[in-house]
Amino acid sequence: MFCTNCGKKLDDDASDEAEKEDAADDKKAETKLDKPTGPAPEGAIDNWEYTLDGDYVTLEKYKGDETDVIVYAGYPADGKVYKTKFADASQMFQACKQVESIVFADGIDTSNMERMYAMFSGCRSLTSLDLSSLDTSNVKHMTEMFIRCSSLISLDLSSFDTSNVESSMDEIFKDCTNLTVTATQATKDKHDDDDCPVTWKIVK
């Protein structure tokens, strides 16, 4: 007997399977790395350019070769654990083409950070990025922050305080052609590029 509905059933099954795979990929991107609860393992500080000052280590530039990067709230060095802080995050991960995911631990001191210029510029393999623990209340410059992050499809900036950003966030998402950004209206208003390719999801 000829089945008139078999073709439709196969199409429906294929569609369902594709939706499940897409959902799984999205979930994987969101949960690729968990936030750490303790200090970094011994030797992890060698992945960074840094300076030590009192009880703090100021991270400046990532130079490691990991694909999944955890930025810890404390790093052991010289027999003690130093608390992590950022002073200037400009170009911190610039051109780290191998990096696929980055998560920042809770407790990193970014309260005096003023610059995030080109922080992730050229991270073309980056698919997962958790910025929820960063204090951006004093940041003035975010130009080109995510430029050429071409693999990034979802970015949550809902925790960002952009009240002190001095100018528009020029080319912050340039070449991010498939990106959906979750942000407050205030953050979107700081970004006045009408030609920006991203999709905005506004939250209160």
117: CB partners within 8 A, 6+ apart? 90, 91, 141, 142, 143, 144, 145
pLDDT for 3 equals 53
pLDDT for 78 equals 92
Closest to 88 in 3D by CA, of 58, 64, 108: 58
Into which CATH architecture does domain 22-203 fall?
Alpha-Beta Horseshoe (3.80)
Alpha-carbon distance of 95 to 118, in angstroms, equals 10
pLDDT for 170 equals 84
Q: What is the DSSP string of 59-128?
A: EEEE----SEEEE-SEEEETTEEEEEE-S--TTTTTT-TT--EEEE-TT-B-TT--B-TTTTTT-TT--E
> How do beta strands 154-156 and 128-130 pair?
unpaired
Q: Where does residue 124 rank: exposed (0-12), middle (13-18), buried (19+ CB within 10 A)?
A: middle
Helix or strand or coil: residue 189? helix
pLDDT for 196 equals 81
Beta bridge partners of 105: none
Handedness of CA 123, 87, 79, 38 (dihedral sign): negative
Closest to 92 in 3D by CA, of 108, 115, 76, 67: 115
pLDDT for 5 equals 54
Block mean pLDDT (10 aa), the chain, length 204: 51 51 44 82 98 98 98 97 98 98 98 97 98 96 96 97 87 93 93 81 94
pLDDT for 191 equals 83
